[in-house]
Structure 1
Amino acid sequence: MLRRITFSWMTTLLALVVVQCGEDDPTPSALDSSPLPPMDQGAVQWLDPENQSTWSKTEKPYFLFLFDRRSYWSREMARDAFGSPENANEISRLTRPVWIDADLRPDLVDRYALGALPSLAVLTPDLEWITGSTYLGAEDMASLLRRIRILVDVPERAEDLERERAKLRMRRPHATTAFANRLALGELRLRLTDAILKAPAWLQPGEGVIALIETGNSDKARAWAEANLRPERFHGSGALYDATLTDDHRLTEERVSLAVNAGALYTVATLASLTDDRFLAEQSRKLAEAFELSFGTSTSELFGSGTADFSADTSGVIRPGAGAPSLYNRRSVTSWNALAVSAFCRTATLSAENPWPDRARSILDAILKRRVKGSRVRRTEVASSVLQFEDAAHTIRACLDLADLTGETSYKSRASELADRMLKDMLLEEGAVSHLIGADGHYGSGAGVFAQCLVRMAKLNGTYLKDAERLCRLAIAHGAERPSRLGAVVRALVMLEAKGTDLE
């Protein structure tokens, strides 16, 4: 049974949100917006990360460009740094350049992005680090390529580089992961909960805050809400901006995203359910109502990705800063839509009559019809060579949430089918997981969410509890350097403890 705690501190905060939610902002209506223009790839002949031949044996280093299509600086780097014929020729001569859309390959972003997008990762043929950077202009790119040229053209330099890398590894060893398999579940939960408690409120992902409430740390909810639900974070449409605020209360971005808003709605609605707080419930309703205006499209039941942080004139020249009408990316991502289903299901429990069960069902039915092939969950309409863990995980949770809300057991059966396929595809014989991301971002990690689902379905399959524990331990090992971002895993550990399992 969910713990219920009543808070009165939200009254003033949410009243301010209602009054000061950006009355002068141009409303980012997805239905009225302009489509996102194609992205300039410069003069480089890029390889496709979805093509398996891209990752075939090579003697050249890899040159990974990780970008966000809705980011001005990603587009500007592609235009400037890669538009130079000299830079493009050197990139092609010296490296294997790979064009990586962050929305499509969160696994590669988790491994190789340097805390921001755009990011550049230069790797050995064995995918070990050589060097990397965030934004670079044409001149800085030329300087980087000169250093790579020395490495490639002078083989002796490779030996020097390996010696230097060995010294760096000695000075900055990776976080130990042995504890992930050694400690009991309760000890792991306490260790991770302590890390979440110590993190600043604005750095705590939503799943982490929910985990704190569920483990009795109710005082942290106020700090999280004050940091993340400030009036300045709300656009005139009622949706949340992507960005956090600077110390002087300025927004660092001017766009809205489905991933951010679905994660926020799931968090706020869950907190409202846990605390029985009417103002949180009202804020959940307002956020939910903003979805259709901000992310709906006229051609699909699924939501699009969101608006860009730049504008473009009639000739296609882009400039930083969102314009009106918004530039909108209509591409729908499965995991973000599935998260919206779970968020709507949470919101639906807060009032007697509302449209959210029907809207959740229409989205989930579209996902199951269009994105599931042979019980495998695709990220977009386009078939991908690499399945992303989070798409299946959030789709499974959406099925369970809608089944619990409506009593329609067919969705629970689909969840079990998808889980069995996922375990078969992604849990390899030696226990490793392909493309596992343990740490939460704007929403719960695929590993943590899937582990939660396995515990919820334990009655359907006696091995699910063992699978959930193994997955939690793997996720903790993968996320050992970011323990404060393992909130979804903590929630799974709490559920496992409640089941009385601690498998050795």
Structure 2
Amino acid sequence: MSDSEGPIEWRSWEEGLAEARKHGTPVVLFLSATWCEECRRMEETTLSTPQIRANLREFVPIKVDADRRPRIRDRYTVGGFPSTVFCTPEGEVITGTTALGIEGLRSVLERVREVFEEREQPGRIPRSLRETEAPAGELDSGIERRMAGQLEASFDEQYGGWGEPPKFPLPRTIEFALKRDRNGARRTLEAVRTHLHDDYEGGFFRYAANRDWSDIAHEKLADGNAALLRTYSNAYLATGEEAYRETAARTVEYLTTTLWTGEAVAASQAPGPDDSYGAPEDRTDPPVDGTVYAGTNALAVDALLTYYAYTDEGDARRFAERALAHLDGLIDGGSVAHHAGGERDVLSDQARTLGALTTAREVLGDEDALASARSVADHTIETLRAEDGRFRDGPSEGAGLLTDPLYPLDATAELADGLVDLAVLTGEDRYREVARDALAAFAGASDRMGPQLAGYGTAVSRLLGGPLAIRVGAPAGSDLHRAALRIADHEAIVVPGAACEGAVASVGERESDPASSPAELERAVGELFDADSP
């Protein structure tokens, strides 16, 4: 049987680049995801034809799961999934595109082969990897104001949401707006719930292609659902509206049934057949990718404990504790594995795990979680921090462009948030200073950040202006601790079992008198902020 008659012999990233360098052969990288319907169709149609397989004989074919290899994803994705990327043997990019039909791919393969043979076009390094200078600037309250102004300017007054289509739910942007543009946040929460929430099976779909939230992409990703669980829980805290709590409860159910592996939360659920979103009786159960990712489960732990803190719903706590136990098994000396046996020290995993552990200390009073949080933070600072204060997305090693540093702003903002929490929980200002340096490294670009990066504004605000911290002398689970968790500020930090009488609230240098009851605590917090009002 000839090469063109058998299936494509996909190589792994490392194996494929080594082979390409050995033979001086160009690479075709097929970057896909288990939940991606376009990826599946391209594999079953375009990539299964004999003529395409024959053309691929002059390339080294590499297939990478974008969820399993996030650092490859972030360097090589071209406009979405699938990404079909053509590279030099060294892993530099020649060109790339998304899904292609048979003739389209044949044409590109022929042109790339000609270009490579004639060396007309050397490989290139993406701009995000070539910009090595940090856009540093001063951190001040103007950053938060500018971010709020950008949200106001980009808000869709007719349909809700921010920015141009496609419309993603942007959970952290909604949380930023809950304190700074309540109307925009509520209108977007309603649009997301109306259009992206699956009322029958539960969970949220990934995004809508059109401005009016139509043309839904029906895949469901666990990290997106976990983030929205936290957002709707925080909306319930901020407004007291039962509809937000009900949406959060349905999302808890989805994460802990459909996506539950028995010990943690699975990665994603693929979309069903195109005709399966009509009448409920016509539905089929789309497949679930059972891979357990550290960052995804850290988000789930954070969200489940946040929901539990506001509702006392015991099931949410129990599932959070089980996922936290699995997450603990992925941590070794502060180094977090992306999944069992996977790569380590991915910045987003480190940042989200830190957030889950600090939340476990706040909500459950878990001292072991606090010790792990210190370990994760210290390891991240030691291994991923650059001289200018920024954090790399992972180790500076690997094949292809993995050796080129990438400094992701969104993960940096998540890490800074966790470090601010850790500084309050431990009393160690060094964590706050690391967060300050990391955020300042991007401050010069704050006027150019779109609404999807509002989490940066939240992190800067919490660093400079507070956050509200409530230290409770009573243990976790006491009436005073539960009341502290339900103070209507989702950016606050609660420290149970603190060395104080009653509960003491503080913002920066200002501190309330001790409160001995939930009612006194609520008054004390109100007076603290009233004193700061003009």
TM-score under structure 1 normalisation?
Answer: 0.75
**Structure 2 CA distance for partners of 1:90 and 1:280, relative to 1, 3 Å:** same
Aligned position for 1:149 = 113
Question: What's the CA shift for 1:391?
Answer: 1.4
Distance 2:362 2:270 in 1: 36
Aligned position for 1:314 = none
Contact 1:48–1:54 under 8 Å retained in 2: no
Distance 2:333 2:195 in 1: 45
Give the aligned residue type for 2:411: G
Structure 2 counterparts to residues 219-258 of structure 1, below 5 A: 219-230=183-194, 233-244=197-208, 246=210, 250-258=214-222
Structure 2 counterparts to residues 24-423 of structure 1, below 5 A: 43-49=7-13, 54=18, 60-94=25-59, 96-124=60-88, 128-155=92-119, 157-158=120-121, 180-200=135-155, 201=161, 202-203=167-168, 205-214=170-179, 216-230=180-194, 233-244=197-208, 246=210, 250-297=214-261, 300-310=262-272, 324-369=284-329, 371-384=330-343, 387-423=345-381
Question: Cα deviations across residues 228-247 of structure 1 (Å, max 9, x unaligned)?
Answer: 11066324133222332646
**Structure 2 CA distance for partners of 1:249 and 1:423, relative to 1, 3 Å:** closer
Distance 1:250 1:129 in 2: 34
After superposition, the CA RMSD in angstroms is 3.5
Q: Percent identity?
A: 20
**Structure 2 CA distance for partners of 1:334 and 1:61, relative to 1, 3 Å:** same
Equivalenced residues, count: 433
Give the aligned residue type for 1:448: A
Per mean C-alpha deviation after superposition, the further-off stretch among 491-500 and 67-76 is 491-500
**Structure 2 CA distance for partners of 1:203 and 1:430, relative to 1, 3 Å:** same
Unaligned runs of 5+ in 1: 1-41, 312-318, 440-444
Question: Cα deviations across residues 22-41 of structure 1 (Å, max 9, x unaligned)?
Answer: xxxxxxxxxxxxxxxxxxxx
Per mean C-alpha deviation after superposition, the further-off stretch among 146-155 and 111-120 is 111-120
Q: Secondary structure at the match of 2:62?
A: strand
Distance 2:459 2:96 in 1: 35
Contact 1:48–1:98 under 8 Å retained in 2: yes
**Structure 2 CA distance for partners of 1:54 and 1:419, relative to 1, 3 Å:** farther
Give the aligned residue type for 1:111: R
Q: Secondary structure at the match of 2:121?
A: helix
Distance 1:248 1:99 in 2: 35
Question: What's the CA shift for 1:176?
Answer: 9.3
**Structure 2 CA distance for partners of 1:491 and 1:438, relative to 1, 3 Å:** farther
Question: What's the CA shift for 1:183?
Answer: 3.5
Distance 2:222 2:75 in 1: 23
Contact 2:196–2:204 under 8 Å retained in 1: no
* Higher-RCO chain (CA-CA 8 Å, sequence separation at least 6): 1
Question: Cα deviations across residues 365-384 of structure 1 (Å, max 9, x unaligned)?
Answer: 12102x11232111111232
Question: What's the CA shift for 1:52?
Answer: 10
Q: Secondary structure at the match of 1:458?
A: helix
Contact 2:263–2:323 under 8 Å retained in 1: yes
Q: Secondary structure at the match of 2:74?
A: helix
Question: What's the CA shift for 1:399?
Answer: 0.9
Per mean C-alpha deviation after superposition, the further-off stretch among 358-367 and 47-56 is 47-56
**Structure 2 CA distance for partners of 1:251 and 1:56, relative to 1, 3 Å:** same
Question: Cα deviations across residues 301-336 of structure 1 (Å, max 9, x unaligned)?
Answer: 10112322245xxxxxxx886862332221122211
Distance 1:434 1:120 in 2: 25
Kindly name which structure, 1 or 2, has the bigger radius of gyration based on alpha carbons: 2
Question: What's the CA shift for 1:179?
Answer: 8.6
Distance 1:481 1:79 in 2: 41
Unaligned runs of 5+ in 2: 1-5, 156-160, 162-166, 278-282, 394-405, 467-507, 510-534
TM-score under structure 2 normalisation?
Answer: 0.71
Q: Secondary structure at the match of 2:292?
A: coil
**Structure 2 CA distance for partners of 1:310 and 1:337, relative to 1, 3 Å:** same
Question: What's the CA shift for 1:126?
Answer: 6.0
Aligned position for 1:442 = none
Contact 1:114–1:133 under 8 Å retained in 2: yes
Distance 2:234 2:353 in 1: 18
Question: What's the CA shift for 1:53?
Answer: 6.1
Distance 1:375 1:213 in 2: 33
Question: Cα deviations across residues 45-71 of structure 1 (Å, max 9, x unaligned)?
Answer: 333236696599675554322111122
Contact 1:479–1:486 under 8 Å retained in 2: no
Contact 1:448–1:475 under 8 Å retained in 2: no
Question: What's the CA shift for 1:400?
Answer: 0.8
Distance 1:79 1:396 in 2: 40
**Structure 2 CA distance for partners of 1:48 and 1:213, relative to 1, 3 Å:** same
Contact 2:27–2:62 under 8 Å retained in 1: yes
Q: Secondary structure at the match of 2:342?
A: coil
**Structure 2 CA distance for partners of 1:249 and 1:425, relative to 1, 3 Å:** closer
Distance 2:285 2:243 in 1: 32
Question: Cα deviations across residues 357-407 of structure 1 (Å, max 9, x unaligned)?
Answer: 2221111012102x11232111111232x5322112111111111110111
Q: Secondary structure at the match of 2:419?
A: helix
Question: Cα deviations across residues 387-444 of structure 1 (Å, max 9, x unaligned)?
Answer: 32211211111111111011122211111111111122212446553325636xxxxx
Give the aligned residue type for 2:58: R
Question: What's the CA shift for 1:220?
Answer: 1.2
Question: What's the CA shift for 1:87?
Answer: 3.2
